Chains A and B, each alone.
Chain A
Amino acid sequence: MTPGPGRRLIPAYLVTGGRSTPTGPALDRLAVLVRTDAALPRGTGSEQRRLCELLEPGALTVVECAAHLDLPVSATVFLATDLVAAGHLHARPPIPSAGELDRSLVERLLVGLRSLH
C-alpha cells in the first residue's frame, strides 16, 4: 500500500501562495540573481530570507538557487520575482548563446581579406 520511498511532507507549491503564475516578468532558469542593498523588512518569510542569504556572497542563477533551497525552479521563480518586485534582488537575463553565424557575411569578409593581399 505504501508507494515508494515516503511521501514528502511540504510540497513546493506552498511558496506560490495560491498564485498560478509569478507576478512580474518571467525569469529564465539561467537568469542571474544579485542581491541589492535594500534591507529585508521584518515580516519576510523564512524562504525569502534564506534566498537573500544565499545571494549575499555573490550572484547565482535561478537554477543554482533552486538547488540550494531544495525547491523546483518553477517555485524558486515565484520567490525570486517577489523579491525582485520588492527591490531586494536584481535579475539579469541570461547571456544568449551565440547563434549560427551568417555564412554569406563570413564569405564576404574572407573575400575582402584576400583582396587586401
Chain B
Amino acid sequence: MALIAVTVAAWSTARMYQARRDAYGASARAELIERQAKAAEARTTALTEEIRQLARKRIPAAATALSHRTAPVPGLREAAGIEGDAAHLLTEAVQAVRTAVLEERGRVDAAARSAMRGTSAKIQSLLNQSQHLLQELQHEYDDPRILQLDFRNELALRRTQATAVLCDAWPGLARQNSSLVEVVLGAQSRVAGYERIKVANHLRQERLALVARAAEPLAIALAELLANATAYSHPDTEVPVTVQQSAGRGALILVDDAGIGMDDDALKRARALLAGPSEVLLTELGDPPQTGFAVVGRLIARYGFSCHIEASPYGGMRTMLRIPAHLLTVMDDDRTLSVLAPKPVQARGAGAAAGPAPGAPAAPLASPAPAAPPLGTALPTPSEPAGPAGSAAFVPAGPVPEPGPVPEPGPVPEPGPGPASAAEEAPPAAGLPTRRRRSPRTASPEASTARQQAPEEPPLLRTPEQAGAAWAALQEGTLSGRRAPERSAPPASPSDDQGDDET
C-alpha cells in the first residue's frame, strides 16, 4: 500500500514536474516566438527604412553623381540592421539604376548628337555657299564691308564646324596637300581677334605641308586652341604662335597666351579631353558648353596628332600641337604659296622680333613630353652653330643682309629647293599686264644698295662731256666709213658724196 502510495506520489511529482517543465517550455516558446516576431518586425521596419532610403536618397544621389562626380552617394542607413543578402540586393538595385541611367544617357546623347550633326552639316554647307558668293563679290566690288562680312561668315562657319566635329561628323570638306604655314594662317583667320595672333615661321623647309586628310582637321583643332588663347587673354596682349620642325621629322605648333591661366581642376579636365577619349558626351560639356578642348580631343582621337597643355612662360597657358611625320609631306613645286604666308624667320633675319623666344622655356617642355626634343635642337643651322632659337632670333639683327629665302636642306629630301624658291620669287606668269619702265629708275643719289638696279645705274647717268665724246666718236666713225668706199670705189657718183660731205 505504502509502495503504491510512494509510486503514485513519485509519479504525480514527476507529472507535476513535467507539467511545470511543459508550462515553462511553452512560455519560453511563446516568448521566443514573440521575440522572433519582434525581430522580424524590426527587420521589416529596418528594411522598409532602407528601401525608403534607397528610393528617396540613394538612387537620386547615384544618378546625380553620374553627372557631378563630387556629389556624395549615401550607403545603407544601418548596415547591421539587415542581413547581408538584402544589403547586397539593395546595392545591386543602385547599380542597376546607374547602368540604366548611363545607357539612357548615352542613347539620348547620341540622339542629340545626330540631330545636331544633321543641322550643322546643313548650316555648314549653306555658310560655305555664302562664302563663295562673298568671295566673288569681293573681287567685283571694292567695299571693305564685304571683307568684314566674310569674316563674320568664317566665324559662324568655325562654330558650326566645331559642333559638327563634336557630334562625330566628318570635318565637312576635303583638301589637297596644304602648306603647314598656310593652314596655320587659315586657322588664324577663323578666330575673333585674329589680329593679335602673330605667326612666327621657324620651319627649315618652307614648303612643308600637311597631307590632304589631315589639313582641315588640323586647321579646326588649331583654330579652337587659338580661340581659347585669344578669348582668355587681355585684348592688348599678343598671342604668339610658333611653327617649327622637331628633330623627329615631325612638326610642332606652339600657341602661347598671356592670359588668366587655368586652375588645377580645369587643367585636369582639359588634359583628359585632349588625351582623345573615345566618346565625349554633350551633357559633360557644361553650361554654357565649353567645346574647344573637346573638339580638339575628338580630332586627336581620329587623326593621330597630339596636343599638350601647360603653363606658359608668358603667364597664361601654352598649348603644343604635335604633328607626327606621317602626316607631313612637301608641297608640289607648281603650287605657289600665298603672299600672306610669312617667310621662314631664318631666311629673313630677325624679321619677327615678336617671334617668341621658344628656346628659353625648353626645360619645362622636355619633362612632360618625352617624345618632344628640347626646342633648341629644332633649329640648328649650319651658320649659327650654337643656337637655341631665342638667341638666334636676336643675333642676326645687324649683320645678316637679306639672304635670299634659301630653304635649308632638311632631313626630308626636298625635290628641288632651287626651282621652288625661284618660282616663289618670279612674278606669276599668268599673262597679267606688267608695266615696265623703258629706262630703269634713275634713282636719287641715296639709292639704296639693296636695290636690284643699282649696278645698271652709273652708265646711264652721263655727263655732258661723256655725251659729247660719244657723239664725236659716232660722227668720226661715220666719216671714216664713208671715206673708205670713196677710196675703194672711185667711179661711184662723186656728186652724191660731195653733197653728203658738205652737209
Residues of A within 8 A of B (CB): 1-4, 6-18, 20-22, 29, 37, 39, 42-47, 50, 54, 56-60, 64, 67-75, 77-78
A20 CA to B435 CA, complexed, in Å: 31
Task: Identify whether the interface residues of A are mostly helix, strand, loop, or mixed.
Answer: loop
Whether a CB of chain A sits under 8 angstroms from the CB of B183 is yes
Contact A37 B443 (CB under 8 A): yes
Report which residue of A39, A46, A59 has the largest number of chain B beta carbons within 10 angstroms of its beta carbon.
A46
Chain B residues near A57 (CB, 8 Å)? 434-437, 440
Interface residue stretch chosen among B188-196, B299-307, B371-379:
B188-196
Interface residue stretch chosen among B45-53, B131-139, B273-281:
B131-139
Chain A residues near B352 (CB, 8 Å)? 43
A57 CA to B436 CA, complexed, in Å: 6
Contact A9 B148 (CB under 8 A): no
Chain A residues near B351 (CB, 8 Å)? 42-44
Contact B340 A15 (CB under 8 A): yes
Interface residue stretch chosen among B23-31, B172-180, B469-477:
B172-180
Whether a CB of chain A sits under 8 angstroms from the CB of B339 is yes
Decide yes or no: A3 and B340 within 8 Å by CB, A12-B138, A20-B144, A43-B353 being known contacts. Answer: no
Chain A residues near B189 (CB, 8 Å)? 10-11, 13-14
Chain A residues near B129 (CB, 8 Å)? 3-4
Decide yes or no: A47 and B340 within 8 Å by CB, A7-B128, A21-B144 being known contacts. Answer: yes
A64 CA to B189 CA, complexed, in Å: 25
Contact B339 A46 (CB under 8 A): yes
Kindly report which residue of chain A lies nearest to residue B215, judged by CB atoms.
A9
Q: Restricting to B335-351, which residues have a CB under 8 Å from any CB of A? A: 338-343, 348-351
Contact A46 B341 (CB under 8 A): yes
A52 CA to B148 CA, complexed, in Å: 25
Whether a CB of chain A sits under 8 angstroms from the CB of B420 is no
Contact A77 B125 (CB under 8 A): no
A12 CA to B397 CA, complexed, in Å: 30
Contact A9 B147 (CB under 8 A): no
Interface residue stretch chosen among B66-74, B241-249, B253-261, B448-456:
B448-456
23 A–B contact pairs at CB < 8 A? A2-B173, A4-B128, A6-B173, A6-B174, A7-B128, A12-B147, A14-B340, A17-B195, A42-B397, A43-B352, A47-B340, A50-B339, A56-B453, A57-B435, A57-B437, A57-B440, A58-B436, A64-B435, A70-B428, A72-B138, A72-B146, A74-B138, A74-B146
Contact B147 A74 (CB under 8 A): yes
Kindly report which residue of chain B lies nearest to residue A58, judged by CB atoms.
B437
Kindly report which residue of chain A lies nearest to residue B405, judged by CB atoms.
A46
Kindly report which residue of chain B lies nearest to residue A27, judged by CB atoms.
B142
If A46-B341, A68-B427, A73-B139 are given as contacts, then 8 extra A-B residue pairs at C-beta distance below 8 Å, sorted by A number, are A4-B129, A11-B150, A20-B148, A22-B144, A43-B351, A58-B437, A64-B433, A70-B338
Decide yes or no: A9 and B142 within 8 Å by CB, A14-B194, A20-B148, A56-B451 being known contacts. Answer: no
Contact A9 B186 (CB under 8 A): yes
- The 8 tightest CB contacts between A and B, nearest first, are A18-B195, A3-B128, A72-B138, A13-B147, A9-B186, A58-B437, A17-B195, A73-B142
Contact A39 B448 (CB under 8 A): yes
Whether a CB of chain A sits under 8 angstroms from the CB of B331 is no
Chain A residues near B343 (CB, 8 Å)? 46
Decide yes or no: A72 and B182 within 8 Å by CB, A18-B193, A37-B444, A46-B342 being known contacts. Answer: no
A10 CA to B349 CA, complexed, in Å: 25
Chain A min CB distance to B192 (Å): 9
Contact B432 A13 (CB under 8 A): no
Report which residue of A11, A22, A67 has the largest number of chain B beta carbons within 10 angstroms of its beta carbon.
A11
Chain B min CB distance to A95 (Å): 15
A59 CA to B435 CA, complexed, in Å: 7
Decide yes or no: A2 and B150 within 8 Å by CB, A7-B131, A29-B142 being known contacts. Answer: no
A10 CA to B427 CA, complexed, in Å: 20
- Which residue of B121, B151, B434 contacts A13 across the interface (Cβ within 8 Å)? B151
